[in-house]
Each structure stands twice: as C-alpha cells, then as structure tokens.
Amino acid sequence: MTSWVGVRSTVTSTQLDAVSRAIRSTPIIDNHAHPLLKLEALGKHPLLSITTEASGDAIDAAISSLPHIRAVRQLATVLKCGFNWTSVVSAIEERRVDAFEDWTAECLLGIETILVDDGLDDADDAQTYSWHDDYTRSKCKRIVRVEQVAADLIKKLGKACAASTQTGDVFDDAFDEFLQEFDAHIRGAIEDPDVVAFKSVICYRTGLDIKKVVDEDAAREAFKEIIANFVLLDFDRLQQENLNDLVVHRTAALVRDSSSRQKKPIQFHTGLGDNDITLSKASPAHLQDFIRSYPTVPIVLLHASYPFTREAGYLASVYENVYADIGEVFPAISQDGQEQVLRQILELCPWTKILWSSDGHWFPETYILAIIQMREVFDTVLCDYVRRGHMGWKAAIELVQDVLFRNSNRLYHLGLAFSELTADETTSEVKLGPYPSDIELLQVFLKNQAPPDFVRICWNDFTACPRMRMVPFRKFMSLLNEGKTTDIGITKAVFGLLQNDMLLPTVEPTGEYRLHPDFGSLKKGPNDGHISMMAEFREHDGARVPLCPRSLLQRAVELGLANGLTFLLGFEIEFLLVERLDRGPANLTSARYGTLTTDGHAWSVSRYFADPKISQLLRDMVSELDDMGIYVEQLHAESATGQFELILPPLPPVQAVDTLLHTRDVMSALATAAGFKMSLHPKPFANACGTASHVHISISSANGAFPAVYEPFYAGILKHLRGIAAFTYSNPASFERLADGAWAGGRWVTWGTQNRETALRKIDGSHWEFKALDGLANPYFALGALLLAGIHGVAAKEQLVWGDCEIDPAKLTVNDRKELNVSEMLPSSVEEALRALKEDEDLVAYLGPELVERYTQLKEFELNFLGEMNEDDRRQWIMERY
C-alpha cells in the first residue's frame, strides 16, 4: 500500500464549520419574550434599557457597563454608523422615521415564532401578540401571566364592591366569585389553542419561596383587606404573600387536573430582574417543594436563573417536569458572563431540557442583540467543546437544533416543521459558513448530472449484512423541500436478525428506531439511477441508539478527539471472483460457485489481466469508483485463483468505513452484471489462500505522531485483542483462514516491524497495519472496538510490553516468546472469541454492556443456525451473502 504516514486530516475544521453553520441556520423558537411598543409609544421608554434591568437614575450608569459597550459595537456594525452611543441612537431614530417596519423585520430575522408574555405594564402602548406574526416565519402564540389575570379580576370586583351598598358577607362572596372567575379564565386559557403557556412573576412580588400548602383562610383575609380598602390602597398589582401563593397553586392544579394529556407549561421568572426583586428569594432552589407537588405540570425556569444558573441546571436534570431557559442574559450581561452561563447550564443539565429565549421587549433592538450574541457565544463555547473532544460535532449540531427549536416545539406542542434558515433569513451581520445544509449538499452533489431514480439509505447490521431502504427521488425531494424529516422508521428488531431474517428469540418485533441519513456520505450508485447514503439509528427524540454500529465508531472518534487524537484509516479490499454455476431442476442442491478457469493465477502476476472479460471488469470497477470520487490507489492479483486486492485511500474513520461499504457494493454490482460473483468469504476453497480486509491506521495528535503517542495506542489494542477478535473474526469461516505461515496475521497476540505474520504490522511511525480482520466483520464494530481499545490505552499510558517480533511468531522458541512477552494466542473459534469478549470487563465497558450482550446473543444464535449445515452447504450459504 502507498505510504501515507504523517498525513493530517482536515476533517476537524470541516466539523467546526458544520457546527458554526448550524448555529446560524437553525430557526429560533423564542420561548419567552414580550411585545414591541407601538411606534408612537417608543419615546416613552429609555432606549438605554435594552442592555440593563436598571431604571430611574440608576440607568444612566449603564453606558459604562460591558453589556452596553458590546451592544454599541454590534448595533453600530448592523446600522453602519459611528461606534458610539450617540451615533447608534441617531441611526435607530432615523430607522424609526424612514423604515421602521423594515428595521423591525431585520431585528427579528431568524425567528420561527415568538411566545409572547403580553402581561407587561403599559399594555395599551404595546402591540398585540398576533401583530408580531408579520415578522416571524410561523404565527406567534400567547403566554398568560397569572398575576395579571388575578389583578384584573380584583380591580373589577373591588370597583363593584366599592359601588355596592350591600353589607354582611359581600367580601366573602367577592372572594368566592374571584376564585370562580379566576378558575374559569385559566380553564379557558388551557382550552385556547393560541395560549401555549402560563407565566408567574411571583419572584417579583413575594419571592419564589412558595408555601407547600396554601393557607386559603389567610388568602381570603388578604383579599378582603384589599377589597375593603380598594379606593384607599389604589390597588394596582397583586403582592400579598398568601394570595400570590394561592394564585400560583391554583393555576398549577388546574393545569394538572385538565383532561388534556398535553399539559401547558408554567413559566417562572427566576434570577435577575429590576429592583423590585428580592434577590435572596429569586433562586429557583426555593421552588423545589412546589416542583415536587406538581410532577405532571411542566415548569420552565426563565432567564438562566442568573446568577443561580447552576441551581436551574440541577433542578432541570433531576426533575422530569423542569426545563431551564437561558434567555435575558443575552444581552443583559457581558460576553464572558454569557459564556459562563452556557457552560454552567451544560455542566449538569441535559440539553434536551434547555430552551432559549430573547426576552425581547419594547424595542426591536433587544431581539437583534439577543440573537447576534447568542450565536456568537454558542459558536465560541460549542466549538471549543468539539475541539477539546467534550462532544462530537454532530452532537453539537443536535444540541443547537434542540435548544433553539426542537425542545420548545415539543414542550409547547407547537407542531412546527423544522426548516433551516436561508441566507436571507439570518440577521445582516451573519454569513453562512462553508459547510452546506442537507439540501444544499444534495443540490451540489447532483449538479451537472441527471436526477436519480432512487435514494438508498444504507446500514450494516450485526451480521455485517448490507441492508438499505430505497426512496423514490421525487418523494425524497418533496420531503426535503417541505422541511420534513428524511428519517425512516425501522423496527427495533433490526439488531436481532440473521442474514436470512431469522429473529433472535429474545428480541420482539416491537418498537421503532429512526434511520437517520448522513448527507455527508452521499455517493453515486452502486447501480445506475441510484444514489446512496449511510445512516445511523436514532431514537424518536434524536438520541443515539447504543446498539447502532455506525454510532459506536462515531463515539470512538469523539473519544479520540477528547484525548487529542485523530486517525486516518485505509482499507485493503481482498475479493474473489468466482464462476456462477448452472442450477437446473436436476441439480438444485449442487454447488452454485466454482473457481475461474485460469492460466496460472498467482500473486501480482500480469497474465491474468490478459483475459478481456476480467480486465474489462476490473477497469470498470476503478473507473466507476473514480467517477464517484473514490480514488483507488492500487489493484493487483492475489494468490488464490480469481483473487484480487483493491486498495482504498486513507480517510477519517467513519468516512473510511462508509467508503469501504459503498465500494464493496459497487464492485459486487459490476461483478454480477459481468456474469461473475464477487465473494468476501475468508476461506472459500480449502486449498487456496484466504481473503482478508486489512486496515491501515495512522495517528496524529497535537504533540505529533511520536512513539509516546502511538505505542500506548497499539498496546491498548494488543491488551484487548482476544476480545476484539469477536468483532474482527466474527464467523466460523473466519477461523478457517486463521493459520500460521500464510501471511494472514498469524495466531499470536503480538506485533512486528514489516512482519506480515503478526496481527499488527508496524510500517513507519504511527502507520501500522491491522491484519486480523476479514470481510465478514461489521467494520463499524471492528474499527470502533479497535479505536476504543487504543484510545483507552493512550489515556492509561499502557506500555508496549510486547517486543518487536522479527520472525514468524509460530517459529519462536519458548525463550524467545518469554523475552518478547508473546504469551497469548488469538481465539481459535467464534465461541472462544465471544468468551474472551465477555470476560474482558474493560472492553465491555468501552463498547457498552447492552451492545456486547446483544452482539454475543446474536452471534451464538447464528452459530447454532450455521452449525446445523454441513461444511459445503455452509460455504455456499456464506458465499451467497458475502
């Protein structure tokens, strides 16, 4: 194979581009904001309030705050004016006069919908929630502020009582009427499709330390005092502790007891606010008893609970019904503070419990600043996590899409379709990154070629059987253009099937995964009119499936990044071309495949390419692959009659395995069309050389590819090689090939420089070849196990205690083996390999106990099935399928 040691992959920068692009192209469900002011009312409120909760004389000091300075810089960039507050104010006032609607539209770009709390003071100065529909992609919805409902009812009843001449129980009657009307209003809101949530500002009024049990008698007395002194008190808002507690508890109980299964959430203002708040009572930790009292009522902790962000993250992580919003801090605190908020919420809180909001209010500038700053901070923090390996790039994209769209869509039962923003739908200073969206990837891929007939969505199952679903191209494009998912429902029994669809007895044909295509793996073929993609299995909520082979390899890559390691893999595809024999009515049980008629086939001989039919087939293979962007590095004859080897270029791990599987499909289709059968059977003919699928591995790290980096990696592989063999030698036929002195990697656990009789052959530096692998292995599992074992070897600083074996290890003397620490042999059967896997507790932990248990169960089931065949029937059966 061509040497490629030292080549570094640029995939990491591409992955970071993908994360950045997702941050800018994901539509935003603003799960908590307030209405904008009518144009004529804008002058009544200070523009300085866009970055501060201060009011009165305290607001003037805001100009010396970091949030204000940053906002000036960002607004000046968008408005193309001077970088000072005076210039920004002038530019905004000019927009208000000349193009207020256009400016408002620009400020709200990128927002899918706004959930509007319209219970602010000065309601007559504000636009209605539905007015905002003209500036969002989907219709806006309403949040009902419960204290405002209660206050409006008290005002109405207070005026009625003040005008009444009745005596006696008038106040008690008024309280009962208050409860009845309040309940009716909340029930009406529960039924109203335009209302998606309730909101409490009890944090502002009496604090979040809500009593666990409401004292209704005390609430009645507080109500009677308000009504009795209504005119004198000039009642404006509810701020009596027992009455406030009653209102919140009553709302929660009505939501809990509603007939709908889709309970509407209650949002709570927590953390920072204006000086009405008693900060010591603003921590969401005070809500713990309340949360426990209503386990079926969704509760949203607003505004990152700043400065109590960690408390919010804790509550959302331990209570199923609690969600953490990270709004208002954009743009109310500094950039460093915002980054800390995002990091702190992610310390503990699952991102499927995190929501985002602008808390935009009054001025459109509050929206645009929140969006610009959110994108900037998400980019900084998440790309840093990806660089350091704290999460994979795909996980970061999922986080962005969940936090900005999917979580709110699900929690508030909005039923909106996810559709990425176009360049025209992002704020003016934002440019789309170079990594294209799914539909853009497909459009670029199809440029200058006729549309295909079918899209193939492919996977490789536990028996390494290539499977796929085909979608007519027209249907596939309609799903994409409508913003609908291209995932396909697949039974969970998919990971319990043999090659002939026999189902593992312990697996039920119930439940469903989603087969999620990776558009980055798009390839033409393998048949005319087809395009193909590899896919991963996901749960319906988008979570990874622990049993998914491709996800295992992706997880290994991410762990490598976390340890500063990146990899390139290059596969050698050994394959056998055999004749298809006639199977007429008289010989239905006879052999289906036979060796080719040759003129002396041997390793690397040239005479075989003189056969025009074979020569044309091999040329077509290379040409077809080249047309698909798969550039073959070498092609030559191997030792067995009709056996060849095709060498693929080095690629990052997931891409390398995707390419390997697609290449095999292409080669097999061409061989079939030419009248041959291509087989990967490790030992199809007893007296011929076996067929393998060797893989070359090269390691890079921030510290270079030095022995201190790669030796612990390969030591980790050797330490766990007996268990790994359950994935790399996965079929009884694999062990028919396993032999000493056959250039097959031998039977011993060891390594050697340029030694083809060792399982690991060192070539140059970190570039080594792993030889104990054949075409019956699922390569995602095999390479996932290899990389995970090696990465843990690096983390544990494993010592390469095996010496460099310079000869065939089968020829070593007892003393030689002792000196080189060559003491273990590879398993001699699938049964022994599975036992070694189950006994390797560390390897089981790396791979996941659930995956190992299912894999061993299925392989044992497969062994029983194959064991019922005679040797010839089993060989033919395997050759039919591989």
3-state secondary structure of 695: strand
C-alpha distances out from residue 822 to 751, 773, 800, 825, Å: 9, 20, 12, 8
Mean pLDDT of 607-634: 84
Q: What is the mean pLDDT of the chain?
A: 86
Instruction: Choose between 865 and 640: higher pLDDT.
Output: 865
Task: Pull the structure tokens for residue 124.
Answer: 């007559």
pLDDT of residue 2 exceeding 60, the answer is no
CATH class, 438-545 region: alpha beta
C-alpha distances out from residue 123 to 68, 205, 753, Å: 27, 19, 79
pLDDT of residue 586: 46
3-state secondary structure of 622: helix
| Angle subtended at Cα 770 by Cα 765 and Cα 774, rounded to the nearest 5 degrees | 160
Mean pLDDT of 117-141: 86
- The set of residues, in sequence order, having a beta carbon less than 8 Å from that of 855 and lying 6+ positions away, is 462, 726, 727, 781
pLDDT of residue 861: 93
* In the chain, % of residues over pLDDT 90: 40
pLDDT of residue 550 exceeding 90, the answer is yes
Q: Hey, how many other C-beta atoms are within 10 angstroms of the C-beta on 295?
A: 12
Task: Pull the structure tokens for residue 618.
Answer: 């091999």
Supply φ then ψ for residue 145, to 5 degrees.
-85, 115
- What gap in Å lies between CA 517 and CA 531, rounded to an integer? 12
**Helices 549-562, 653-673: crossing angle, 10 deg rounding:** 150
Task: Pull the structure tokens for residue 622.
Answer: 């290379």
- What gap in Å lies between CA 781 and CA 555, rounded to an integer? 11
What's the helix, strand, coil split of the chain in %, to 5?
A: 50, 15, 35
Give strand pairing partners of 730: none
pTM score: 0.57
3-state secondary structure of 119: coil
Return the H-helix or E-strand segment holding 29: strand 28-33
For the chain, where do the domains classified as CATH 3.10.20.70 start and end?
438-545
pLDDT of residue 487: 81
Could you tell me which of 341, 430, 407 has the C-alpha nearest to residue 32? 407
Q: Hey, how many other C-beta atoms are within 10 angstroms of the C-beta on 590?
A: 12
**Helices 721-728, 830-839: crossing angle, 10 deg rounding:** 130
3-state secondary structure of 593: strand
- What gap in Å lies between CA 214 and CA 219, rounded to an integer? 8
| Angle subtended at Cα 8 by Cα 5 and Cα 14, rounded to the nearest 5 degrees | 155
- What gap in Å lies between CA 251 and CA 298, rounded to an integer? 12
Mean pLDDT of 57-66: 82
pLDDT of residue 251 exceeding 90, the answer is yes
CATH class, 14-33+138-425 region: alpha beta
- What gap in Å lies between CA 452 and CA 783, rounded to an integer? 32
Supply φ then ψ for residue 801, to 5 degrees.
-75, -10
3-state secondary structure of 237: coil
The sign of the CA dihedral 540, 543, 547, 551 is: positive
- What gap in Å lies between CA 683 and CA 178, rounded to an integer? 85
Mean pLDDT of 538-547: 84
Q: Could you read off the pLDDT of 328-362 as tens digits, one per residue?
A: 898 888 989 999 999 999 999 999 999 999 998 88
Whether the CB-CB separation of 742 and 771 falls below 8 Å is answered with no
Q: Is 23 exposed, middle or buried (0-12, 13-18, 19+ CB in 10 A)?
A: buried
Whether the CB-CB separation of 836 and 723 falls below 8 Å is answered with yes
Q: Could you read off the pLDDT of 384-440 as tens digits, one per residue?
A: 888 877 888 889 999 999 999 999 999 999 999 888 887 677 654 433 334 456 776
- What gap in Å lies between CA 77 and CA 54, rounded to an integer? 25
Q: Hey, how many other C-beta atoms are within 10 angstroms of the C-beta on 215?
A: 14
* Domain covering 553-582+616-881: architecture: 2-Layer Sandwich (3.30)
DSSP summary character for residue 51: G
Q: Hey, how many other C-beta atoms are within 10 angstroms of the C-beta on 284?
A: 28
- What gap in Å lies between CA 392 and CA 15, rounded to an integer? 9
For the chain, where do the domains classified as CATH 3.20.20.140 start and end?
14-33+138-425
Could you tell me which of 193, 198, 197 has the C-alpha nearest to residue 139? 193
> Band of the pLDDT at 661, cuts 50, 70, 90?
very high
- What gap in Å lies between CA 88 and CA 73, rounded to an integer? 9
For the chain, where do the domains classified as CATH 3.30.590.10 start and end?
553-582+616-881
Give strand pairing partners of 197: 143
pLDDT of residue 595: 77
Mean pLDDT of 14-41: 88
pLDDT of residue 664 exceeding 50, the answer is yes
3-state secondary structure of 362: strand
